[in-house]
Amino acid sequence: MRRILVTGGAGFVGSGFVHHLVAHTDASVTVLDKLTYAASRDALRALPPSRVQLVVGDVADADVVGPLVAAHDAVVHYAAESHNDNSLDDPAVFVQTNVVGTFTLLEAVRRHGTRLHHVSTDEVYGDLDLEDPQRFTESSAYDPSSPYSATKAGSDLLVRAWVRSFGVRATVSTCSNNYGPWQHVEKFIPRQITNVIDGQPPKVYGAGRNVRDWIHVDDHASAVWTILTRGRIGETYVVGADGERSNLEVARQILEHFGRSPGDLDLVADRAGHDLRYALDSAKLRTELGWAPQHRDFEAGLASTIEWYVAHEDWWRPHKQAVEASYAAKGQ
C-alpha cells in the first residue's frame, strides 16, 4: 500500500489519518476533498508536498473518483457530512454525500479491484439507556436516530453488499466520538472550549446527561491503519477507547481547566431525537488485530486539546460568530 487515496482527508478526522500516514508509513497520499465549510487546507499545510497531494473534488462525482481510484493501491473513505444538527435542517446533502458518494466510490473500487476501508460511526446503532450496562459491538443491530446516522447506516450496508455481491475487498469501522485539534467549532467540545475562551458559558443540551464515548483523533487514525493493513476482508470493527463521559462532565472539566465555576454553564433546548448514550466494546479490534489506544487519560487529552484551541484562535475565530448565530436561532 504505497499509494493511498483518502476521501475527506481535509476534514477533522480524515486529516488526522493523513498525519498518521506521513508520520508512521512511507506511503504517498492523495486527499480528495470537496473543501466544504468543515474542511481545512490548514490541517494539511504542514505536511510535505512530496508526500501529500490535495485534489479538490466531490466523492459523488464518478469522473473525478474513477481515475483517482485507478491510480492508488487503497482507499480510505472518510468523506461525509457529519453534523447531526445540520442533518435535521437539510437531510438532502447528507443523502448525496454519504449514500451517493459511497455508492460512487464502491463502483470505482469494484471496477479497479482496489482495497477499500469505509469509516463509519457508532451512531448507526442508535443509543443505549443511561443505566444499561451493555455496549455496542460488531453484532449490534442498526437503529439510526437521525438523517445523519441513517445515511451512514445506509452507506455501511452498501459496502457490505458490494463485498458479498461483487467481491469488493473492503472493511468497515464504526467509531465513537472523536476529539482533538482541527475540529470545527460547531462540534460539542470545540464549541464549549471556544465559548469559555470568549468568556461565555458552555451550552449543554437538555440536562446534560447524554453520554458519549470519547476517543482521541490520533487513536482513531492508528485503529484505521491497523484495520486497513491487518483487518479481514468483509469484517466490521468497532473502535472505542473506553471514554464514556456525560456532556455535563465534559463541560465542567473544560470550565475547571480555565479556573471557572463548574456551575457556570447554560442548559439549552435539547436537540430533536438526541441519543442518550453511546458506549463501544472494541474487544474484537484489540484481541484480533492487537490495537490499543494510546490516549487513555481523557482529562490529559482534553487539556491538550484546550491548549491547542487557545493557541489557534486565528483558525477557529472566523467561523465562531456564524456557528453561534445558527445555534441561537434554534434556542441552543
CB 59 within 8 A of CB 46: no
Say if 162 falls within a structural domain. Answer: yes
- Percent of the chain with pLDDT strictly greater than 70: 100
Q: Can you tell me the distance from the alpha carbon of 118 to that of 221, in angstroms, rounded to the nearest whole number?
A: 13
Say whether pLDDT at 219 is over 90: yes
Determine the pLDDT at residue 273. 85
Determine the pLDDT at residue 208. 96
Catalytic residue among 148, 205, 237, 278: 148
Alpha-helical runs (H) found in 95-146? 101-112
Say if 72 falls within a structural domain. Answer: yes
The whole-model pTM stands at 0.97
Determine the pLDDT at residue 140. 98
- Partners of 44 in the beta sheet? none
Please report, for the domain that includes residue 17, its CATH number: 3.40.50.720
Say whether pLDDT at 56 is over 90: yes
Catalytic residue among 123, 127, 213, 219: 123
In the block, cell 504505497 appears at 2
Say whether pLDDT at 85 is over 90: no
Q: What integer is the mean pLDDT of 232-247?
A: 98
SS3 84: helix
Determine the pLDDT at residue 83. 85
- The string of pLDDT tens digits covering residues 242-285 is 999 999 999 999 999 999 999 999 999 998 889 999 999 999 99
CB 6 within 8 A of CB 32: yes
Say if 205 falls within a structural domain. Answer: no
SS3 43: helix
- The string of pLDDT tens digits covering residues 172-186 is 999 999 999 999 999
Q: What integer is the mean pLDDT of 116-128?
A: 97
Say if 149 falls within a structural domain. Answer: yes
Residue 123 is a catalytic residue: yes
Can you say how many angstroms the Cα of residue 149 is from the centroid of all Cα atoms in its chain? 12
Residue 142 is a catalytic residue: no
Determine the pLDDT at residue 272. 85
Q: Which residues lie below 8 Å from residue 319, measured CB to CB, with a gap of 6+?
A: 37, 184, 185, 186
Say whether pLDDT at 21 is over 90: yes
The helix, strand and coil proportions of the chain, stated in percent and rounded to the nearest 5, come to 45, 20, 35
Res. 212 pLDDT band, cuts 50 70 90:
very high
Say whether pLDDT at 55 is over 90: yes
Tell me which H or E stretch contains 9: none
Q: What integer is the mean pLDDT of 106-127?
A: 98
Say if 40 falls within a structural domain. Answer: yes
Q: Which residues lie below 8 Å from residue 95, measured CB to CB, with a gap of 6+?
A: 147, 151
Residue 90 is a catalytic residue: no
What single letter denotes the amino acid at residue 81? E
Residue range(s) defining the domain that contains residue 53? 3-178+214-239
Say if 155 falls within a structural domain. Answer: yes
Q: What is the domain count for the chain? A: 1
Catalytic residue among 81, 122, 218, 219: 122
Say if 257 falls within a structural domain. Answer: no
- Partners of 136 in the beta sheet? 280
Say if 259 falls within a structural domain. Answer: no
